[in-house]
A and B are shown apart, each in its own frame.
Chain A
Amino acid sequence: MKNFYSTPFDVAIVAGNRLPHWPSVGVRELSKLCTKFGLEVGWVGGPGLRGRGVIPTGSTGGVVLAEDIQGRTHRIQARAIVRFSAPDESPSPFEGSSHPSLFLGATAMKLREKSAFIWNEPIAILGTGNRAFSFAIRLLEEGCPEVILIETFSAWEGKTYAGWEVERRRFEILGGRILEAEPLSFRKVGSAVGEFRVRDRKGIRVLEVSRIVSFGPFGLSEPLKEYPPESLLFDLLQTSSPQREKDPEGWMMEEERARILASKVARALVPELGSARVELEAIARRARSRMKRMEGFLADPFEFSFNGKWTASPVMKSVKAFSGVPSMLQAKAPVASIECFETIGCDLCERACPTTAIHLDRLRTRKNDEPPRPILDEAACIACGLCLQACPSATPVMLREPPELSMGSVTFSWRERETPPDVGKVVTLLNRRGETLGTGRVLALNSTEAAESKIDRKPVIPFSSLLVEVEVPNHLVWEARGIRKPRAHASAEDQEFISSNSREFLGERVEISWNGERRFVRSGIPISTAFFENGYQRTNDRLLCEDGSCGLCEVEVDGLKQLGCTTMVRRGMSIRSVRDETPADDLCPCLSIRGKDFVDRVEQGSLLSVESAMESTGLGSGRCHGQLCLSAAKRTLEATGLDPLETRRYIDWRFPSSDWKIDSGQI
């Protein structure tokens, strides 16, 4: 039979649907370790070879079906299969959770980075993980007037939010707000404004926001799962970004999980390991230890407390005693201050420092089983500012505090889209939660050029190259951690805001017919993206998958059904919507299953496994194969106390997770 190829491997690594990048660091690390121990590893992913489904076949491992760029079918048989999955960001269902104005985090990030979509209205973000913080910070830096982060699951061990304290601090300095609340309902009350009702400890609040972005995490999940148990069929969450600097925690966590998995797979598949067994166990043990250290911020959170606008005295004492801040030399010259008090999985300042003045004390902390904290060697600091630029949270500052003078200075990294204040201008000084402390004067604008890291000789990618040195009263040197340009005349401010939000995505605009009406849209972008850019939001475009995996975004193009995410806009095309919009309170938009009905069914039937819940309700068998509903359904069950056995570890291997159109002539 032509066009059918069969290949055996020991380990097949498969890209799941909607993966933002491939191969990620976990894929590479897993492959490296497996091949080191003599296993044959095959990758199924990327545009050249797309995984279509995994079929568990019995004992261990299974079969992966894939399609290559020429439409040929590949059957890859493997003794162990690892699927890398994108994070699930669907919120637990509430009234209006299927509203088209609710975007998933990945969709929102794509629209922010690749599209001319404008974020100039108040936004609510569900979830308080680092990805949520990072996105919110970018929006605020780009001029979004209001961003509210809503924590729906405040049980992060010792914390009330899921991310790092430094990210929270940066978010609040920029004017963001955090609420611990449960979403109740969302409905549009105008063309641009929606009414988002949430319930917090004090009662019901109504937030006026234009859109909701759902990031999560919404509960404790299992990033590395095996299902069925001992089947060597794994699912590993892709937490890394294409660049390490964008999300160092996600990058390192994925790397460590891949090491643990490689150790498990090699021990299961390599018959005579001999002394290598000890090595594998050591790899897994070290990885677990590093992960535990990186998650130290959850168990041992750092919280600033304030006395009015001022940092409370005991906290300030611990700040000044911290190993990463200068103790003496700031009296003579500017010195970096690495105010990262929590123990987090990030080493970007260490990597960026050209003189190794900053280092993470891994040896001491490993002995005490503590996570590494930054240690500053003041004498070695040359005040180059590279650490300020490398930090994703803009946490480091440079301090100068001459005791003989009344004025010192603080240098900040400028990340906002608007132009920095001119030298000599007055700026508003902000404390660590964004409250106004007073004013300072800009002394200098410096730019830095990033070099390569002294540690691994890889280039350091800065978040900005501009430093703003501000003269501040000496008593504010340890308090002022943010600056804001003073508010200008209203019309001028508006003009500046509008210009700051206009993106350079002009490109060619072409005329198309849109449900019978003439429209001008950007040429060469996917139809789904064009819908967003032109204010025509559909629940069906929620995943914006770009790989056609969910099949929800179907439209009729010149009379033929096409997927909106994979069909590009071109001049003269006629587009018609072919699907009705989804009711706003469905758990499953594909099959119109309501959250309440799902819970009732599980409760009435005393259903004990995820299989039984799905078989009995039909959940996950709709068009998107559970991409929109499955995790939300699991959380709903957890929240109602009906959690069937093995819910967290369950992996839906139903094949394929996407539609696979086959030309029957080819096979």
Chain B
Amino acid sequence: MRLDSDMVLIGTGLAPLIAAQILLRQGKSVLLLNPEYDFFGENSEFGFDPLLPWQGGEIARRLTESNIEAVLRDLQPEFPGALETWPGTRSGYRDSLAPFVRSRQRLFVGRVEEDHWPIREEVALLAMEAGAKVQTIAGWDALKGFPGMSANKISDPGRYRGMSVSKVADVDVVRFRNGVREFVRERLGNEGLVVGASPIEFTAEGVRYRDQGKPVNVRVNEGVLTFWTPKLTSWIKSLTEHYDVKPTLPLGIRLWEEWSLLSKDPLDPSSIGMIDDLIVWAAGEGDPIETDGKQLGVLRRGPLHSMSTRDDSFRAWEDEAASRDSFHLIGDLTREFLHWERFTLRSLKVRRTFEWADRHPSFILFRNRFESRVVTGSEGFVADIVRTARSAAMRFIEDVRL
């Protein structure tokens, strides 16, 4: 089978869907290829910015970009329906199944004896200068709003101090991705949005792939954008070797563990707590008031693995997921900090993101009859992904015009 398309987009998550929408608006014909079975297998997309490690001027910028107003400004134009906000007005029609963008306080708690605290305060100052509303708090006030805290058992509140940043956004990733995907599918049809397209190869004319075992050749008129997520790493690396391109590589791949614990008591959904390398929040989609609010999400920032030796690196992940250290941290969090006697473990997901030294520059794989670019920054916080996809699509359109 043979097809023609102005643009081919390749990716496993949200980024190619956003780019497809933008390119369609510009009147381009688009073919979207996903080597995975669906866009729901992508696990590198976060509903909020982890803001870890809490150091360096970068955090101040990220904090302002995570502000609910900034996030809504980014997301709303690219979502083909209504986005609900929380807390929001209770009157009028609210679509309880729509993606929610929640505004919560980010509460960073540390121990008084920690050496890093002055560094963290400096970050807070930078954030304040950038427009974030930061408040420093101490003792009881720092602890009482922490999700899952058994407030009546706190014996030594003076050991802790904290900082809170208000109006930090978190988004229902699955609902957002699904909404965009449904819209793009309607526009492109099953022929234009292909999942399970594997293996994908570049040819002189365009792209060749297999769709349910049948080979398909696509003639590409303008270009190919590949959105690089950790799942595509081995394929991208083989392409760079094949085309002899030496792009700036990430420092490595960061392992994240997302634990889901069941709390005995309902959780306060108004803040997302941070302590050490852990982020703790009342998990769930939609309006937190309508859900049972007993599921405590804990995101642990795990080790960083080098990109150099892929196979060794993969083996090392297996060594470190759900490791002794993870259990140790979860045990400390629940017993020492939250003062829980017992907890119920419901699930554990392993997530991966890239970590870059400074920026994440996209690169050109080859340029002949058409151009093939690899877009980095297609994983992480959902608002960042939308920004990346939008700028990659717009830049490509500009370059073609020139």
The chain A residues found within 8 Å of chain B, CB to CB, are 1, 4, 6, 52-53, 55-59, 61-63, 65, 73, 75, 77, 604-609, 611-612, 615-616, 618, 644-646, 654-656, 659-667
A612 to B346 alpha-carbon distance, docked (Å): 20
A636 to B121 alpha-carbon distance, docked (Å): 56
- Tell me if B350 is interfacial: C-beta within 8 Å of chain A: yes
| Contact status B341-A62, CB under 8 Å | no
| Contact status A62-B334, CB under 8 Å | no
- Tell me if B324 is interfacial: C-beta within 8 Å of chain A: yes
A611-B40, A615-B174 known; A55+B346 contact, CB < 8 A: no
Q: Which residues of A contact B322 (CB under 8 A)?
A: 55, 63, 65, 75
Q: A61, A612, A618 — which one has the most chain B CB atoms within 10 A of its CB?
A: A612
Q: Which residues of B contact A665 (CB under 8 A)?
A: 335, 341
| Contact status A73-B327, CB under 8 Å | yes
A607 to B190 alpha-carbon distance, docked (Å): 11
| Contact status B318-A4, CB under 8 Å | no
Q: Which residues of A contact B311 (CB under 8 A)?
A: 59
Map CB proximity to A onto B307-336 as digits: 1 under 8 Å, 0 otherwise: 000010011011101111001101100110
| Contact status A75-B324, CB under 8 Å | yes
| Contact status A664-B334, CB under 8 Å | yes
Q: A61, A63, A605, A646 — which one has the most chain B CB atoms within 10 A of its CB?
A: A63
Q: Which residues of A contact B348 (CB under 8 A)?
A: 53, 55, 655
A-B contact pairs, 7 of them (CB 8 A): A65-B322, A605-B181, A616-B175, A656-B345, A659-B344, A665-B335, A667-B330
Map CB proximity to A onto B199-212 as digits: 1 under 8 Å, 0 otherwise: 00000000000000
Partner of B342, one of A609, A616, A644, A664: A664
Q: Which residues of A contact B40 (CB under 8 A)?
A: 609, 611-612, 615-616
A662 to B322 alpha-carbon distance, docked (Å): 15
| Contact status A77-B318, CB under 8 Å | yes
| Chain B: minimal CB distance from A634 (Å) | 15
| Contact status A645-B196, CB under 8 Å | yes
Q: B38, B174, B317, B341 — which one has the most chain A CB atoms within 10 A of its CB?
A: B38
Map CB proximity to A onto B153-188 as digits: 1 under 8 Å, 0 otherwise: 000000000000000000000110010011001000
| Contact status B314-A659, CB under 8 Å | no
| Contact status A667-B331, CB under 8 Å | yes
A11 to B324 alpha-carbon distance, docked (Å): 21
Q: Interface size class for chain B?
A: 35 or more
A663 to B343 alpha-carbon distance, docked (Å): 7
Besides the contacts A52-B345, A53-B345, A667-B327, what 13 more A-B pairs have beta carbons closer than 8 Å? A1-B328, A6-B323, A58-B318, A65-B322, A75-B322, A607-B38, A609-B37, A645-B37, A645-B38, A656-B347, A662-B344, A662-B345, A663-B342
Chain A's closest residue to B314 (CB) is A59
| Contact status B331-A664, CB under 8 Å | yes
| Contact status B327-A611, CB under 8 Å | no
Q: Which residues of A contact B340 (CB under 8 A)?
A: 664
Chain B's closest residue to A656 (CB) is B345
A618 to B96 alpha-carbon distance, docked (Å): 14
Map CB proximity to A onto B277-316 as digits: 1 under 8 Å, 0 otherwise: 0000000010000000000000000000000000100110
Q: Which residues of B contact A662 (CB under 8 A)?
A: 342-345
Q: Which residues of B contact A77 (CB under 8 A)?
A: 318-319
Partner of B318, one of A62, A644, A664, A667: A62
| Chain A: minimal CB distance from B360 (Å) | 22
- Tell me if B220 is interfacial: C-beta within 8 Å of chain A: no
- Tell me if B92 is interfacial: C-beta within 8 Å of chain A: no
- Tell me if B132 is interfacial: C-beta within 8 Å of chain A: no
- Tell me if B39 is interfacial: C-beta within 8 Å of chain A: yes
Q: Which residues of A contact B181 (CB under 8 A)?
A: 605
A616 to B342 alpha-carbon distance, docked (Å): 31
Q: Which residues of B contact A656 (CB under 8 A)?
A: 345-347
Chain A's closest residue to B42 (CB) is A611
Q: Which residues of B contact A646 (CB under 8 A)?
A: 37
| Contact status A661-B323, CB under 8 Å | no
Chain A's closest residue to B234 (CB) is A59
Q: Which residues of B contact A61 (CB under 8 A)?
A: 318
A651 to B40 alpha-carbon distance, docked (Å): 15
Q: Which residues of B contact A611 (CB under 8 A)?
A: 37-38, 40-41
A379 to B101 alpha-carbon distance, docked (Å): 84
- Tell me if B262 is interfacial: C-beta within 8 Å of chain A: yes
A58 to B345 alpha-carbon distance, docked (Å): 21
A57-B318, A660-B345 known; A75+B350 contact, CB < 8 A: no
A65 to B330 alpha-carbon distance, docked (Å): 15
| Contact status A1-B327, CB under 8 Å | yes
A611 to B181 alpha-carbon distance, docked (Å): 14
| Contact status A660-B344, CB under 8 Å | yes
Q: Which residues of A contact B328 (CB under 8 A)?
A: 1, 4, 667
Q: B175, B311, B318 — which one has the most chain A CB atoms within 10 A of its CB?
A: B318
| Contact status B37-A58, CB under 8 Å | no
Q: Which residues of A contact B196 (CB under 8 A)?
A: 645
Chain B's closest residue to A665 (CB) is B335
- Tell me if B382 is interfacial: C-beta within 8 Å of chain A: no
| Contact status A4-B327, CB under 8 Å | yes
A393 to B330 alpha-carbon distance, docked (Å): 55
Considering only residues 256-280 of chain B, those with a C-beta below 8 Å from chain A are 262
A414 to B256 alpha-carbon distance, docked (Å): 64
Q: Which residues of A contact B285 (CB under 8 A)?
A: 618
Considering only residues 192-230 of chain B, those with a C-beta below 8 Å from chain A are 195-196
A73 to B328 alpha-carbon distance, docked (Å): 11
| Contact status B182-A654, CB under 8 Å | no
Partner of A612, one of B39, B314, B318: B39
A55 to B346 alpha-carbon distance, docked (Å): 12
Chain A's closest residue to B41 (CB) is A611
A608-B37, A664-B331 known; A655+B343 contact, CB < 8 A: no
| Chain A: minimal CB distance from B309 (Å) | 13
Q: Which residues of A contact B38 (CB under 8 A)?
A: 607-609, 611-612, 644-645
Q: A1, A73, A660, A662 — which one has the most chain B CB atoms within 10 A of its CB?
A: A662
| Chain B: minimal CB distance from A107 (Å) | 24
Partner of B343, one of A59, A73, A654, A664: A664
